[in-house]
Amino acid sequence: MKTYNLKFKIAFGLALFLLPASCFLFFRASAQTAPQFLVSWRAENYVPSFYQGKIFPGASSPIEAGFDLIDANKIVNLSKNQISWSLNGTPLQSGIGLKTIRFNSKNTGQSVRIIVSDYKRNDLDYVFEIPVFRPELALDIPSSDNRVGLGQITIKALPYFFNAANKLGLVFNWSYNGQPVPGTPENPSALTLTLKSEGAPKNADILISAVVQNIFNKLEIASKIINLSVTKL
């Protein structure tokens, strides 16, 4: 089986963020202070169940962010400290011991700022960035070289980074050599074709196109086209 030609952004994301969402990034609060911020975030976007990389947000995706403060190799109890969060310079929320927060991402990325007030008579300030990705689509085909034989084949659409809880929030549209065709009745994200030999040359090319769109946000859309070579054995 082959997952067809994911765009470089997903490969880049896997290289940078092939970590469980529970892993943390370590940063020094400032050059003058010993405490360190351990920051994590996760977007609640749809990805295939087998995906183990970082789940990136799209525009308006729900995000949960949190942190711990480490001092002298110990997690600091911040239950009595005022903690303030802001997004792209706009205040989000403040509260005593507020170490986690939820918000929706912006269209072009976001700069998140955390301020911990009056920690050992100092205010600690830390800023981190969360990128925004456009939705992606990959096609999983039963071949390692884009060649298929006669008979029945199934092609699967694999959407990434859509602002949806599951595939029920997505619409899948398929075409075969430019003509619309339905997906499988029980699973619209898959296309099953029966390739026959009548009148076909020994080798023939077919064009498969898939388009995925968010039901609730028509601007969230991704497409993929592949060319398969059908070989008569």
| Mean per-residue pLDDT, 172-187 | 90
Q: Is the dihedral of CA 162, 167, 150, 180 positive or negative?
A: negative
Confidence grade of residue 114 (pLDDT, cut at 50, 70, 90)? very high
Number of domains present in the structure of the chain: 2
Question: Could you give the CA distance from residue 86 to residue 168 in angstroms, rounded to a whole number?
Answer: 33
Q: Which of 111, 130, 149 is the last residue of a domain?
A: 130
Q: What is the pLDDT of residue 28?
A: 45
* pLDDT tens digits, 50-87: 999 999 998 889 999 999 999 999 999 999 999 999 99
At 3, the pLDDT band (50, 70, 90 cuts) reads low
Residue 109 sits in the same domain as residue 205: no
Domain boundary among 130, 154, 179: 130
The Cα–Cα gap between 104 and 87 comes to 10
| Shared-domain flag, residues 8 and 117 | yes
Same domain, 161 and 222: yes
Instruction: Determine the pLDDT at residue 195.
Output: 74
> For residue 33, what are the domain limits?
2-130
Average pLDDT over residues 82-94: 95
Q: What is the CATH number of the domain that holds 168?
A: 2.60.40.10
122 and 177 fall within a common domain: no
- Domain boundary at 75, 106, 130, which? 130
Verify that 97 and 150 share a domain, yes or no.
no
Name the residue with higher pLDDT: 1 or 168. 168
Residues 142 and 56 in one domain: no
Residues 109, 46 within the same domain: yes
Tell me: pLDDT of 9 over 70.
no
Question: CA 72, 73, 79, 84 torsion: positive or negative?
Answer: positive
* Average pLDDT for 129-134: 92
Q: What is the pLDDT of residue 18?
A: 38
Residues 92 and 48 in one domain: yes
Same domain, residue pair 6 and 83: yes
- In the structure encoding, which two tokens stand for residue 137, read together? 């689509």
